[in-house]
């Protein structure tokens, strides 16, 4: 199945390879290939100079030995024997050579470290940006299935693991490859026979490391999953802390977190057991002893001099570092790949909607038509075969019992969800054919559970219109009856509200949301019980503002308040996902028992039902 385009996309200059985690990481690195090539080149140069220093140390030892050799010569004048000791004229030159190669190696290391750290930070920033853009582009259905804590763990810890994969993970990989290859090459240049033991050791090392990696990989992946679950559970508890405290469930939540933490710790313990059985260092010790014995026999046989022996020992000893760091290297690599795999699954996840950049773009007049529309989630149907028509500028009230599908119906208008059957038309054009940005920019929805960002009040009001002036913001706030309470705060419009607006009352949050809608000047307005937390006096003022705003706009009201339902042009009655009645207030009171149930709790006189079958349906149990 092909992956659908994102519902929302951000233009980027790069296209990354999503075939698998390794290719995806490499495609990010390739965007900074100049730095990557420079890093690899500096590593090669550093190891060439550092390894050559061991050869020079062997030559220096040979020069010292030669300088201490005493020879006997005859004096030309007296004929007497005189003892002479070598001056070792080559030693100062060799010492300067050793100094030079170590300094050069250090400089190359410095450039390598700088370039690799730059590459690691760019990899982390690039992957986090791609993940964030991908999350913005996913449909509401996708986000309904996700746990926020799990996504946050990916955006923070899993992405950070990619940083660690690069530095020091990739650094260690280069150290392993070049730390074996270059010293062995120098050993072969000293004496080809000396390379036998190092080559055999490297082959054994490869076999042992592959076995080690195969054991570590599943543990690393499960460790990442367990961390996400622990993080998601903690995020849910903190987000619902008010419920936790009100129910006195702190001990239960503490035990739950401790259980998750123990399971997470358990995977680290398993990782430790695997690392404790790391055998290559033991094999290196045995190989070093065999190699030294082999070189010593060659010296005894006259096939190798002392300088060569010391140089060989120094070069072989360089193999210990890449052997040792593999225990850390493969842990970092496996954790990084496991994190990348989890992130990539989210990025590649299919979304039901697409932005339709080349779609229909026009000013919305406000005609809305539902043609045999049905919608459902994977676990069942929500709306069934709904059809109705709303003319531009009309006000439509949607009523029904809780859970009947009222909010979902309005979510189909701006394509928060996609209809599974039938068509939703705006101005005669199927919403799936509209450019999504053009469509949504002309539709505003205010929900009962208002979401405010942890920003200033001015920023929250201007969220849908970031270029709005302060005068525009204040005018919108006045229309929503929010201006006075905003000025009562010390910082006024620059007051920073808490996360989700928790520092404000429910009525204050809803008035700010209304101000946001007023400022965006939508052509279609959806009010989902948007005045439920407002007192009656304030509601009267807001209703006046809403009615003024409705002029020339199509408005959908989801409400049970009689004062709002009465003046709707059309009323839709939804029952268990079906449209059971449609008409004006007076018409429905006479013809629909479902509608009459809503007013059974009000002390008003209801006219008799005109339909005998409808009259047989009881109107008790009001909504």
State how far the Cα of 570 lies from the Cα of 556, in Å rounded to an integer: 10
Whether 148 is in a domain gets the answer: yes
Whether 120 is in a domain gets the answer: yes
Per-residue pLDDT, averaged over 510-538, amounts to 79
Give the H/E segment covering residue 389: strand 380-390
Whether 307 is in a domain gets the answer: yes
Per-residue pLDDT, averaged over 73-97, amounts to 63
Assess whether 379 and 321 both reside in one domain.
no
Give whichever of 85-99, 116-130, 132-146, 441-455 has the largest mean pLDDT: 116-130
- What is the residue range of 497's domain? 451-521
Please give the model's pTM, rounded to 2 decimal places. Answer: 0.68
**Are the CB atoms for 315 and 308 separated by under 8 Å?**
no
Whether 4 is in a domain gets the answer: no
Kindly report the number of other CB atoms within 10 A of residue 348's CB atom.
12
What local confidence, expressed as pLDDT, does residue 524 receive? 92
What local confidence, expressed as pLDDT, does residue 48 receive? 94
Assess whether 466 and 342 both reside in one domain.
no
Q: How does residue 560 score in pLDDT terms, banded at 50, 70 and 90?
A: confident
CATH number at residue 503: 3.40.50.300
Exposure of 538 in the CB half-sphere (CA atoms within 13 A): 20
The rounded mean pLDDT for the chain is 83
CATH number at residue 299: 1.20.1560.10
Q: What tokens were used for 322?
A: 């890449």
Q: What tokens were used for 267?
A: 């995977």
With a cut of 50, say whether residue 74 has pLDDT above it.
no
Query: Among 324, 348, 372, which residue terminates a domain?
Result: 348
Going from the C-alpha of 92 to that of each of 64, 67, 310, the distances in angstroms are 10, 12, 18
With a cut of 70, say whether residue 312 has pLDDT above it.
yes
Q: Please work out, in degrees rounded to the nearest 5, the angle formed at the alpha carbon of residue 452 by the alpha carbons of 446 and 454.
A: 170
Whether 46 is in a domain gets the answer: yes
Kindly report the number of other CB atoms within 10 A of residue 381's CB atom.
16
Q: What tokens were used for 16?
A: 């990354």
With a cut of 80, say whether residue 603 has pLDDT above it.
no
Whether 353 is in a domain gets the answer: no
Query: Among 321, 348, 375, which residue terminates a domain?
Result: 348
Per-residue pLDDT, averaged over 70-77, amounts to 51
**Each residue's pLDDT tens digit, 430-483:** 998 998 888 988 898 887 777 888 889 999 999 888 888 999 999 989 888 889
Assess whether 205 and 166 both reside in one domain.
yes
What local confidence, expressed as pLDDT, does residue 529 receive? 75
Assess whether 426 and 467 both reside in one domain.
no
**Are the CB atoms for 390 and 368 separated by under 8 Å?**
yes
Whether 2 is in a domain gets the answer: no
What local confidence, expressed as pLDDT, does residue 398 receive? 93
Q: What tokens were used for 560?
A: 């049970």
State how far the Cα of 595 lies from the Cα of 580, in Å rounded to an integer: 9
With a cut of 70, say whether residue 406 has pLDDT above it.
yes
Alpha helices in 138-195 (DSSP H): 140-144, 148-153, 159-164, 171-190
SS3 of residue 80 by DSSP: coil
Kindly report the number of other CB atoms within 10 A of residue 142's CB atom.
17
Alpha-carbon Rg for the chain, nearest whole angstrom, is 38
Question: φ and ψ at 429, to 5 degrees?
Answer: -115, 130
DSSP single-letter state for residue 154: I
Structural domain total, the chain? 3
**Each residue's pLDDT tens digit, 319-364:** 999 999 888 887 888 888 888 998 998 888 866 566 777 888 999 9
Assess whether 343 and 202 both reside in one domain.
yes
Assess whether 50 and 191 both reside in one domain.
yes
Assess whether 153 and 35 both reside in one domain.
yes
Assess whether 249 and 391 both reside in one domain.
no
Query: Among 298, 314, 348, which residue terminates a domain?
Result: 348
How big is the chain, counted in residues? 623
Assess whether 289 and 434 both reside in one domain.
no
**Are the CB atoms for 159 and 152 separated by under 8 Å?**
no
Beta bridge partners of 359: none
**Are the CB atoms for 358 and 351 separated by under 8 Å?**
no
């Amino acid at each position: 199945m092909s992956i659908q385009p994102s519902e929302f996309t951000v233009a980027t200059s790069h296209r990354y390879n999503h075939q698998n985690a390794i290719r995806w990481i490499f495609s990010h690195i390739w965007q900074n290939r100049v730095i990557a090539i420079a890093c690899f080149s500096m590593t090669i140069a550093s190891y060439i100079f550092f390894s050559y220093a061991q050869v020079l140390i062997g030559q220096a030892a040979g020069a010292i030995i030669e300088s201490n050799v005493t020879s006997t010569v005859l004096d030309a004048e007296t004929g007497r024997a005189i003892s002479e000791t070598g001056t070792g004229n080559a030693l100062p030159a060799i010492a300067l050579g050793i100094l030079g190669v170590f300094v050069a190696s250090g400089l190359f290391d410095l450039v390598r470290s700088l370039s690799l750290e730059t590459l690691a930070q760019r990899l982390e920033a690039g992957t986090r940006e791609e993940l964030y853009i991908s999350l913005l582009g996913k449909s509401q259905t996708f986000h309904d299935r996700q746990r926020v804590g799990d996504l946050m763990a990916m955006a923070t810890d899993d992405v950070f693991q990619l940083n660690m994969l690069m530095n020091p993970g990739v650094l260690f990989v280069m150290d392993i490859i070049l730390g074996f290859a270059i010293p062995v090459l120098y050993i072969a240049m000293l004496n080809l026979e000396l390379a036998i033991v190092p080559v055999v050791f490297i082959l054994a090392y490869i076999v042992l490391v592959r076995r080690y990696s195969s054991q570590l990989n599943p543990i690393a992946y499960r460790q990442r999953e367990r961390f996400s679950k622990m993080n998601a559970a903690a995020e849910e508890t903190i987000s619902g802390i008010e419920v936790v405290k009100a129910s006195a469930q702190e001990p239960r939540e503490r035990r739950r977190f401790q259980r998750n933490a123990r399971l997470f710790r358990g995977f680290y313990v398993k990782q430790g057991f695997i690392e404790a059985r790391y055998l290559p260092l033991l094999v290196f010790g045995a190989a070093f002893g065999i190699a030294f014995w082999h070189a010593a026999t060659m010296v005894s046989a006259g096939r190798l001099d002392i300088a060569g022996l010391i140089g060989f020992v120094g070069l072989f000893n360089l193999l210990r570092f890449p052997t040792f760091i593999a225990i850390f290297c493969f842990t970092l690599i496996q954790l990084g790949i496991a994190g990348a795999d989890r992130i990539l699954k989210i990025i590649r996840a299919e979304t039901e909607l697409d932005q339709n950049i080349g779609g229909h773009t026009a000013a919305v007049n406000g005609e809305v038509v539902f043609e045999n529309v049905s919608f459902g989630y994977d676990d069942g149907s929500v709306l069934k075969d709904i059809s109705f028509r709303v003319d531009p500028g009309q006000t439509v009230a949607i009523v029904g019992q809780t859970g009947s599908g009222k909010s979902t119906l309005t979510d189909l208008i701006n394509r928060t969800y996609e209809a599974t059957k039938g068509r939703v038309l705006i101005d005669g054009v199927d919403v799936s054919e509209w450019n999504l940005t053009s469509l949504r920019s002309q539709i505003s929805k205010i929900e009962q559970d208002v979401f405010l960002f942890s920003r200033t009040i001015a920023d929250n009001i201007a969220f849908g219109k970031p270029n709005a002036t302060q005068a525009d913001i204040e005018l919108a706030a006045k229309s929503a009856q929010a201006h006075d309470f905003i000025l009562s705060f010390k910082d006024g419009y620059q007051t920073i509200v808490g996360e989700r607006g928790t520092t404000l009352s429910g009525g204050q949050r809803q008035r700010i949301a209304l101000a946001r809608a007023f400022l965006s000047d939508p052509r279609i307005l959806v009010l989902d019980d948007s005045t439920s937390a407002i007192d009656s006096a304030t509601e009267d003022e807001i209703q006046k503002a809403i009615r003024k705003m409705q002029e020339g706009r199509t408005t959908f009201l989801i409400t049970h308040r009689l004062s709002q339902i009465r003046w709707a042009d059309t009323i839709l009655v939804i029952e268990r996902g079906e449209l059971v009645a449609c008409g004006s207030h007076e018409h429905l009171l006479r013809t629909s028992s479902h509608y009459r149930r809503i007013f059974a709790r009000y002390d008003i006189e209801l006219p008799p039902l005109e339909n005998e079958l409808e009259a047989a349906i009881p109107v008790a149990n009001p909504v």
